[in-house]
Amino acid sequence: MFKRGSGAAGDGFARILANTGWLLGGKGVGAVLSLAYLAIVTRTLGVEDFGRFALVLSAANVIKALVSFDSWQIVVRYGQPHLTEGNGDALNRVLRFCIVIDLASALAGGVIAAAIILIFGDALELGAGMGWQVWLFCMVMMITIRSSPTGVLRLFDRFDSAAFAETMIPVGRMIGAAVALAVMPSITGFLIAWAFSELLCAIAYWWLALRVGRGRIGSWRTGRALDARAENPGIIGFLTATNLQTSLGSISQQVAVLIVGAFVGPTGAGLYRLANQLANSLTKISSLLSRSIFVELSRTSSHGREALGALFRRTNRLALVAGAVIIGLIVTIGHPLLGLIAGKEFLPAYPLLLMLGVSACIDLIGVSYRPLLMATDRAGLSLRITFISTFLLLGLQSALLPHFGTKGAAMANIITALASFAMMGLASRRAMATNI
């Protein structure tokens, strides 16, 4: 039993490393390009207009996070048994169910975007005549939700294809930013560039997913999409938990930019977003590991508690080493990197970069916790912890911003990351102590 568990854990860990390697390869290209297009945008728009651009992006991402579902997790979690049993038609119904959810999300997002622009357009300081442009940008963000095809690629272990599709975002932004710089060097021009990259990425994801799944995901005309509810007990609860969890996690970061903008204006919001984006770029391995870990923990959970525990401990050690290395990079190269990319007028963002980088690295060290809870049918517990963490972050930011400015917002991130790490760690240890 021990040998079988160790073998399953070893195989799973090897796949995590391989799949994360593919994702990192794609993100490596993206990281290099992101430095280039960030330099173009920040130097073209300046601090204040970049702040307005950041507020628009954050508002669009808040809406997208609010209405979208992490349906790729549903495809993996509920599609895996059907794939193992060779029941392609049942797998297809799970996929179609997720597509219906994504389309409904896009429609809801468009309505919410229109309401926010009408009610809060002045507060966002969008400027005259930009309301329609922002709404159209939000609609592009909604219709390019690509979680379902992502699930297909991850279900079939085609992380290489997913990595290629993901590179279309930075490639599209780089192309779009260069064109905008030459033709329309304004907020509108860069919004068009960002919308173009989202469309390019969505097309690539769907083309690759349909190509990989050809002949293995059953018929598109067998049964109804909604039949997946009866065929997969628990799918609605899992769907709700993943939506709320993803929404809360994403919204907390995007709303933070809006809160900063409300307290200190577009300039402060621009500095905060730039620091947050650079910190997240350096710690991108966290989200990549999380995706790979969830897929493997979902598989390994069927091999017994021992195999699951061995895989969990290995991923924890990997995340700890990665977090320590990245903190060292932020301390040593963060300041010159910030000046190189954005210019001297953005150097006041360095303390924010340092603090937000530490916060992101804390999240990285605990990257295995949430996938473990999700893979062991404890999505509700994970959701409750995310709910507490989100409101803790927003509450702390509202309390600290009036006294410490943007540094107070960054401090709130560190405190929240520590609290979330402690809660998730305790919940994960209790999950491992239970006979799964």
- The 10s digit of each residue's pLDDT in 184-236 is 998 889 999 999 999 999 999 999 998 988 878 878 888 888 888 888 888 88
Residue 9 token pair: 């854990």
Residue 45 token pair: 């728009």
Contacts of 249 (CB under 8 A, 6+ apart): 65, 386, 390
Contacts of 248 (CB under 8 A, 6+ apart): 383, 386, 387, 389, 390
Please give the biggest Cα pair distance in the chain.
68
**Regions of the chain short of the pLDDT cut 50:** 1-10, 435-436
The 8-class DSSP code of residue 306 comes to H
What's the CA gap between 37 and 175, in Å, rounded? 9
Task: Give pLDDT, residue 194.
Answer: 92
For the four alpha carbons of 95, 101, 104 and 106, in that order, the dihedral sign comes to negative
The CA–CA distances, whole Å, from 377 to 117, 235, 332 equal: 38, 11, 41
Where does residue 394 rank: exposed (0-12), middle (13-18), buried (19+ CB within 10 A)?
middle
Task: Give pLDDT, residue 222.
Answer: 83
- The reported pTM is 0.63
Task: Give pLDDT, residue 179.
Answer: 93
What's the CA gap between 355 and 360, in Å, rounded? 9
The 8-class DSSP code of residue 284 comes to T
Task: Give pLDDT, residue 288.
Answer: 57
Contacts of 144 (CB under 8 A, 6+ apart): 198, 199, 201, 202
What's the CA gap between 367 and 291, in Å, rounded? 10
* Amino acid occupying residue 307: A
Contacts of 273 (CB under 8 A, 6+ apart): 51, 54, 57, 58, 257
* Amino acid occupying residue 232: N
